Amino acid sequence: MRDAYIIQSVRTPGCKQNKGLYNQTRPEELIAFIMKAAVERTKNLKPEHLDDVMLGCAFPEAEQGLNLGRIAPKMAGFPDKVSGATVNRFCASGLEAIALASIRVQMGWADVTIGAGVESMTFVPMGGHVPRPHPEFSRTNPDMYISMGITAENVASRYNVTREDQDKFAADSQAKATKARDNGLFTEIVPTPAVKYVKQADGTYKKEQFIVQHDDGIRATTAEGLAKLRPAFAAGGSVTAGNSSQTTDGAAATIIASKEKCAELGLEPIARLVSYSTIGCKSDEMGVGPRYAIPKVLEQAGLTIDDIDIYEINEAFASQALYSIRELGIEKYMDRINIHGGAIALGHPLGCTGAKLTATCIANLKAVNGKYGIVSMCIGGGMGAAAIFERL
């Protein structure tokens, strides 16, 4: 197989569902912008050099439907020859898209591809607009349709992850994200245009544009403050809005090119996808997915936990992230895990998250002068995914 190199990886800021700065900005506009920005930021690369786009999206319907993987490249101004597909592996959709985009280059099916992710949870909420569980199957297998919050409660109670530990983990995530934002450490972010509709004196609305510079869900808090919140999913439970990921809008894009195309165009490789793994687990405790996916991908790559310089483990819930960290034996490396905060502070825009964390992982590897990074997450329905990236 051919060598496939990452030559660019960027993201938009993440903004809160409904109440955030993207609440009037359609998802097509977010993903079209970040793909165009990724190309424009890559020296010697032109839109006509692109072959294909793989776009992750967890709920590809309504504004995110009709194969947004094809629509977004056209909105970005890419030529007709740039094809596209929409990929859905729920929370790992963006990571799956990057893996598929890399495979296309490795197999010689394409020379330059984009692996990307998008989700507007404002326009298309969790579960979609018209969920339709199978009537008979849902009676015998209700866990396949279970609330993600209940799965987090299951992990907390089955594996003794205390409320105090969850709140401390969540407060630490917010503190790290606050420090990173205030010190300009989110170097993977591209300031992104958003829109709002402003009512005029005559009763009509005018569409106005403004720029979003930062993730808007970061909030200063303490474990003591979080302890005052009531359980969000189960009476007497330990999972709250404060120790869960934020529902978020956002987009991210990674450009992959063959070694030959890099040489021809003078493109500078910055990283490569070393290996990618997915694995199933019990659906009613889906949050344990990283605990199984990370060892699998390490074995595939011939590496150990000690070889990894940066871990980006999606904080769907503090309970599942903590459980996975403990079971993996990487608590000793907390200074390598989500060093600028995670989804509790920065948000979890479902189909975008894998692509977003890839951009963050590569940027953070550069910041610490590291070689290997892991991106991993749990996945609704009972799965885990993990990818190893090597900084070049």
Write out pLDDT tens, residues 113-168: 999 999 999 999 999 999 999 999 999 999 999 999 999 999 999 999 999 999 99
Query: Of 91, 262, 281, 361, which residue is the catalytic one?
Result: 91
Beta bridge partners of 193: 211
Active-site position among 214, 348, 352, 361: 348
What is the torsion angle, in degrees rounded to the nearest 10, for the CA atoms of residue 148, residue 151, residue 153 and residue 159? -150
Three-state DSSP class for residue 379: strand
Strand partners, 115: 54, 254
- In the chain, list all ranges with CATH 3.40.47.10: 4-124+245-273, 137-186+274-387
Query: What are 338's two structure tokens?
Result: 């989500």
Q: Which amino acid is at 339?
A: I
Express each pLDDT in 251-296 by its tens digit. Answer: 999 999 999 999 999 999 999 999 999 999 999 999 999 999 999 9
CB neighbour class for 45 (10 Å; exposed up to 12, middle 13-18, buried from 19): buried
- Note if 281 is an active site residue: no
Domain 137-186+274-387, CATH = 3.40.47.10
The count of other CB atoms within 10 Å of the CB of residue 43 is 11
CATH class (in words) of the domain with range 4-124+245-273: alpha beta
Pair 24, 210: CB distance under 8 Å: no
What's the mean pLDDT in 316-329?
Answer: 98
Contact 369, 19 (CB under 8 A): no
Choose the catalytic residue: 57, 262, 352, 378: 378
Query: Three-class SS of residue 49?
Result: helix
